[in-house]
Structure 1
């Protein structure tokens, strides 16, 4: 039954199992009967209307929140969210009106043709025959050397002997966490972090410890103040969602802190290709850092490859984790990626994406002015600190009602701490004209209030 302010009283008797009622409401949300931004009735009123105890109604509302379907705001009520939690977002249906500023997978015009031309020799019977065999975590010698040269940046080049391959970047991160942090132990993460890491840690039985951040990224002193950690996961370059890039002095301080505590860093370098001028943290603390990277953002998520650059003496440990987790790369993907990296196709596409990301940042700055934005000018995403009286989830719901998907700050928050009133905008997916139009709509929303936007 619909508990929003437009609903009518149900025709059934009281239902004691709160999960049955929650399932009905979830179906109403999925069907659009309860659209994003709808405000649910106050608990007591809904309980009276449904003929159930207030405690049962409270459990229904908590269950909807647990499923990621609603969000409560103190003093304002409970609202239907724009979508399921952003840790595992779903792509818009082809041809739909939804403008996706939630996912960040740039595929540029002309890119499929370039990749296909490079891939053509692999489709010969003799070459394809080799690609049909399974791959090991270490890949092949030529593939390691090619990948090491391709992943080099800022004067740093990984040692090919310490390079391993995963199916994608998420699997590389999972293997790194599984290797360094036993079940029941603690992993330090930035207080706002890549949402998938939260899911990986939960599946591996790892406890996440949020670490303070400032305008330069992770604060090393937060590691000193934290309970004993087995490792730290961080994003020194183009942090997701904040867009922060750690300056050299902060990286040096972090490297010294890792050595002092005798712990490792898992460095997420997925966006590092957009800042080729900066070396990774691994250049300063190679014995304390494992670097995770992939081709998902560099090229495309549909046919990708993950990389793990491991500390000396620990490569076999990470290889064992890749094997036991079934996270090793497919041989066809390995051979295809090796061709793209070896013949310059990947490098050319990445250079185009660096220009594209910079152009999209300029577009966003122009269309969202004078709102408070935080972004690296090289990044494919930005962080928008919303003006009062907006709250993140209410803004997300109002944007969804206008066909625009954005991500609230709560998707990135770790632990029970307060999530800031901010949203992340992923700029990579829409065509430039659609992006400009969507940014204009969002800017107008920000200049108004939830009441103006019909979010009440």
Structure 2
């Protein structure tokens, strides 16, 4: 009887050669087992292996399908520039930004300023940078202390450093059942096991977190309570309090990803409720631009700051002094505040455009968010819809990209609204609405 890996290799070859196309449904596992002369248990392992390789996705109540954007084609959350209209990567560069930011960069290119920017800087940055970080990160009555701030090269590196400091190799990190895909890659490289925790319309479910911890202890929790990616939801005050109470009772630390928090000035981070338990991570990539960014880590614990600083140094995740100095100037001269306000208005306008053009569909989003979550009509599967959109030159992300483990993915897609010019965004949303009102047969994708 063939080994499950050799059977999976044969199916993978058919997928990568195009004999099985994105959106094609694999047979039910029992039928697959009969057709290949293998045991049912072997078929289960074959399908699990194909899911692990990112070649297929299981959809609740629907079966297993070839994934749109296989590794040799266009993976979810891929490199920028691959599609005519990119609703997959979510960053905004407003037309006003280059002129607003040019002066701060220009001052940093003076010989005296440049000389000081050419030497390395430690994880604690500089005193002016720490003061700037306090001003930048403060919201809704919460602000970090100057001694509590560390700097990374970007937000992803900040997450990696905190995870490395909190969760030993082989231990468990709880995440929302749908989470930021990069966290999956970080966990894999660090040897950390991710544990998906159920979410509802209010965010992570405290009882589900407690059950997972009692089954086997969790070392930390990673979550996005404000403008969750991909769900676009914001955790209300009551759920925040319930979750913090649970975390206190279980004695579990939290990594709070606050990357989109600047779009909701009315809500403090969870750290406002539990500063001794919550580590806030943030960056300039969404606030300003991903091409010249800095990551931030805020923790009240001096002992934990030492461990995170050590992880930043050993991982090569330190902030660069030039970027740190530029960010400090942009905060001090008001550029950062101006750009952030412009982005709040821009996000609200784009969200309103999406609501109008996708009216009548099952869309979930915070009106302040730069993305939305679309539960597709019944005639569409997520992977098939992604493939149909790609044929129209529009890149979108299926739910499977955000699913932790080999579980079934919801029949949904995330639309990132931030990157295209407004006119291109409007046209793309109209095209997607037209596709969704039709059927896969109408588009030639089945």
Name the TM-score, length of structure 2 as normaliser: 0.88
Two-structure CA RMSD over aligned residues (Å): 2.9
Residues 1:54 and 1:352: Cα distance change in structure 2 (over 3 Å)? farther
2:333 corresponds to 1:347? no
Task: Please give the secondary structure, in 2, of the residue aligned with 1:267.
Answer: strand
Give 1:195 shift.
0.6
Larger relative CO (CA 8 A, sep 6+): 1 or 2? Answer: 2
In the other structure, the counterpart of 1:399 is 389
Residues 1:76 and 1:248: Cα distance change in structure 2 (over 3 Å)? closer
Preserved contact between residue 165 and residue 311 of structure 2 (Cα < 8 Å): yes
Give 1:36 shift.
5.0
Preserved contact between residue 37 and residue 401 of structure 1 (Cα < 8 Å): no
Preserved contact between residue 225 and residue 235 of structure 2 (Cα < 8 Å): yes
Preserved contact between residue 149 and residue 296 of structure 2 (Cα < 8 Å): yes
In the other structure, the counterpart of 1:310 is 299
- Distance in 2 (CA, whole Å) between partners of 1:205 and 1:304 is 27
In the other structure, the counterpart of 1:110 is 96
In the other structure, the counterpart of 2:418 is 428
Task: Please give the secondary structure, in 2, of the residue aligned with 1:165.
Answer: strand
2:284 pairs, out of 265, 289, 295, with 295
Task: Please give the secondary structure, in 1, of the residue aligned with 2:276.
Answer: helix
Preserved contact between residue 139 and residue 265 of structure 2 (Cα < 8 Å): yes
1:82 pairs, out of 45, 56, 69, with 69
Q: CA offsets, 1:215-235, max 9 Å, x none?
A: 111111222111311111010
Greater shift, 75-84 or 225-234, is seen at: 75-84
- Distance in 1 (CA, whole Å) between partners of 2:442 and 2:157 is 44
Give 1:35 shift.
7.0
Preserved contact between residue 226 and residue 234 of structure 2 (Cα < 8 Å): yes
Greater shift, 206-215 or 378-387, is seen at: 206-215
Preserved contact between residue 121 and residue 319 of structure 2 (Cα < 8 Å): yes
2:325 pairs, out of 296, 315, 335, with 335
Give 1:42 shift.
11
2:221 pairs, out of 228, 232, 255, with 232
Give 1:247 shift.
1.0
Task: Please give the secondary structure, in 2, of the residue aligned with 1:341.
Answer: helix
Residues 1:62 and 1:413: Cα distance change in structure 2 (over 3 Å)? closer
Residues 1:137 and 1:370: Cα distance change in structure 2 (over 3 Å)? same
2:86 corresponds to 1:100? yes
Task: Please give the secondary structure, in 2, of the residue aligned with 1:442.
Answer: helix
Residues 1:392 and 1:135: Cα distance change in structure 2 (over 3 Å)? same
Unaligned residue ranges in structure 1 (runs of 5+): 1-15, 47-51
Q: CA offsets, 1:172-228, max 9 Å, x none?
A: 001111111111111111111111111111111111111111111111122211131
Preserved contact between residue 15 and residue 66 of structure 2 (Cα < 8 Å): no
- Distance in 1 (CA, whole Å) between partners of 2:28 and 2:407 is 25
In the other structure, the counterpart of 2:165 is 179
Preserved contact between residue 26 and residue 64 of structure 1 (Cα < 8 Å): no
Preserved contact between residue 20 and residue 66 of structure 2 (Cα < 8 Å): no
Give 1:353 shift.
0.4
Q: CA offsets, 1:344-364, max 9 Å, x none?
A: 111101100000000000000
Residues 1:19 and 1:215: Cα distance change in structure 2 (over 3 Å)? closer
2:131 corresponds to 1:145? yes
What aligned pairs does 1:276-291 form with structure 2 within 5 A after superposition?
276-291=265-280
Greater shift, 255-264 or 270-279, is seen at: 255-264
- Distance in 2 (CA, whole Å) between partners of 1:357 and 1:109 is 14
Task: Please give the secondary structure, in 2, of the residue aligned with 1:290.
Answer: strand
1:199 pairs, out of 164, 182, 185, with 185
What aligned pairs does 1:317-396 form with structure 2 within 5 A after superposition?
317-396=307-386
Preserved contact between residue 268 and residue 291 of structure 1 (Cα < 8 Å): yes
Preserved contact between residue 22 and residue 65 of structure 2 (Cα < 8 Å): no
